[in-house]
Structure 1
Amino acid sequence: MSNNSNAIYGGQAVIEGVMFAGKHVHVTAVRRKNQEIAFLEVPKKPNSLLTSLKKIPFVRGIVGIIESSAKGTQHLTFSAEAYAEDESSPEDAAKPKKERWNLTMILGVALVGILSFVVGKIIFTLVPTLLEGLIFGHAFENKILHNLLEGVIKIIFLLSYLWFISQTPLIKRLFQYHGAEHKVISAFEAGSELTVDKVQKFTRLHYRCGSSFIIFTVIVGVVIYSFFQWDTMGERIVQRLILLPVVLGVSYEVLKWTNALRDIPVLKWLGLPGLWLQLLTTKEPNDDQVAVSIASFNRMRELDRQVSST
């Protein structure tokens, strides 16, 4: 039975939990070390300017990124503080100082990597540009070919980075919660009952995912850059920075388009690059992780209904 609701929900994985964004509230659920589930509930504050901007194609994507980063920070901080509190319990206090420092470093890298999307995107845009120019700058004159090679280097960088961080236990668990988030959304959209057994039957991959957005920025960037000429590396770098908002805005629209077409057999392949990347950014969750994701989603829906009924 398909779901009759037209509501479209999104979320994100946090440390040992999942955040879901509803119409009126954001809810994060995290699994504490004592196995209890703790919640953070943050009501949405209406903003007429943001609401208006999010109705404008190509602008709404950039607004959405900024808004998600701002709101996601609070929920990531909540989960990180809960995790740190659990790790500082008496039995963990006896761990060697070096081991605790390594854990802190891993946690810091994870949070910085997630929260610094804009800065990371700038670095991710410029470093491959410089590297491609250094290696192939004098090999040929074809600018389109230079753009393609730049895109290939970006993809190699992206895949290498994701593979590397996924080898750490903490990030692996974060990616498992990412998979749990996708499974719950897929189950809800299919009209399934949200029980652990039934949710686990759904795929951990989803067309409407930030991972898909990242790969689309690479592909869209290659296309957009091909319409502009440059003569020096300085011009090329400035051009990339100026066009970055354009690439982000167009990529967001492409993501929405591929999600709308995902049920059309001939066209659903447009979203496959994003799904392939999610093979790295999501992992199969265990039952406890799915239970946390369900708890977060159900609490968000409950609070949304309470606000809507008042």
Structure 2
Amino acid sequence: MDKKQFSYGGQAVLEGVMMRGQHQATVAVRDPSGEIAYKHFPLDVQKRARWERLPLIRGVVLLWDTLNLGTRALNFSAGVVSGEQEAFSKKTSIGAMLVALAFAVGLFFVTPLLLASLSGYLGASLLLREILEGGVRLALVVGYVVLVGRIPEIQRVFGYHGAEHKTVNAYEAGSPLTVASVRHCSLIHPRCGTSFLVVVVVISFGVFLLLGGLPLWVRVLSRVVLVPLIAAGAYELLRLLATHYHRPWVRVLAAPALFFQKLTTREPDDLMIATAIAALRPVLAADGVVVQEKPRDDPMLAVSA
């Protein structure tokens, strides 16, 4: 199986995994009986190709598209786990996504600014206030992930996240897509969204440092308005790092972001790995990629057939 140029990836959902290719995204979710339920989302290849030629803008478009698709995948998984057809309507899902975005911007961008601004009354310099803001932002991100990761259901999501990484790593290494083969692959992947969060924190520090002398209300507004631009910059940087990840100096530079993935991944069990493989296979098939047939002696993949 030859390694393809297209970068496959996905995300963990409730009791399952979504994988995304060029023509299709597939969600594979374990229902309460242990069987796998599937949902396939067709993707607009021509639309993606148009935006791919525009640096920064493509990052904003891809981020919105990823959030939208991820919300739909989570909605489907919640419905399967709860035994319902769909957990939420499309309008409700979009509303939930917008509320989540507003919460994230308020907690991780505006709150650190307001807290760091209080140090100005104690005589803190502009540079110190910006350092404090960046430190508070990083602490909030890490603290939130650690706190949420203590919830049992989220721990299982982190296990499926690990399965998603292992499966993509196996495919990109040219290894067979079997549980036995995928099991030995790395939990870490350079294109992970968790690394994206770390890069956003780093880039935001440099951007907001340039705006430190402006009035507080302008700085608060900038923390909202500039989020898409910062996210686009983070996407471009991660794209560059992933392209040159084979270079030793790039691996050193990316190490902190990759280390952060240890907070959002867990070692998956075999059923989780089989579910991730089951999500990737239809995606590859939709792109015309031929992979090794499922072996008859692999019971985990037999369950997910």
- Into which bin does the TM-score normalised by the smaller protein fall? 0.7 to 0.9
Q: Residues 1-310 of structure 1 correspond to what in structure 2 (within 5 A)?
A: 3-46=2-45, 48=47, 51-85=49-83, 118-123=101-106, 124-134=108-118, 136-140=119-123, 142-305=125-288
Q: What is the TM-score when the length of structure 2 is the normalising length?
A: 0.85
Mind listing any 5+ residue stretches in structure 2 that lack a counterpart?
88-93, 290-305
- Change in Cα spacing, 1:10 to 1:274, as seen in structure 2 (3 Å) is same
SS of equivalent residue, structure 1 residue 305: coil
2:68–2:97 CA contact under 8 A, matched in 1 = no
- Change in Cα spacing, 1:117 to 1:278, as seen in structure 2 (3 Å) is farther
Distance apart, 1:160 and its partner CA: 1.0
Q: What is the TM-score when the length of structure 1 is the normalising length?
A: 0.84
2:28–2:37 CA contact under 8 A, matched in 1 = yes
SS of equivalent residue, structure 1 residue 30: strand
- Change in Cα spacing, 1:116 to 1:252, as seen in structure 2 (3 Å) is farther
Distance apart, 1:301 and its partner CA: 1.1
Identity of aligned residues (%): 32
1:61–1:253 CA contact under 8 A, matched in 2 = yes
1:54–1:63 CA contact under 8 A, matched in 2 = no
Q: Which amino acid aligns with 1:133?
A: S
Distance apart, 1:235 and its partner CA: 2.4
Q: Which amino acid aligns with 1:276?
A: F
RMSD, aligned α-carbons: 2.3
1:212–1:275 CA contact under 8 A, matched in 2 = yes
Distance apart, 1:145 and its partner CA: 2.4
- Change in Cα spacing, 1:298 to 1:146, as seen in structure 2 (3 Å) is same
2:22–2:45 CA contact under 8 A, matched in 1 = no
Mind listing any 5+ residue stretches in structure 1 that lack a counterpart?
87-103, 105-110
Give the count of matched residue pairs. Answer: 280
Distance apart, 1:47 and its partner CA: 5.5
Q: Which amino acid aligns with 1:54?
A: E
1:200–1:290 CA contact under 8 A, matched in 2 = yes
Distance apart, 1:281 and its partner CA: 0.9
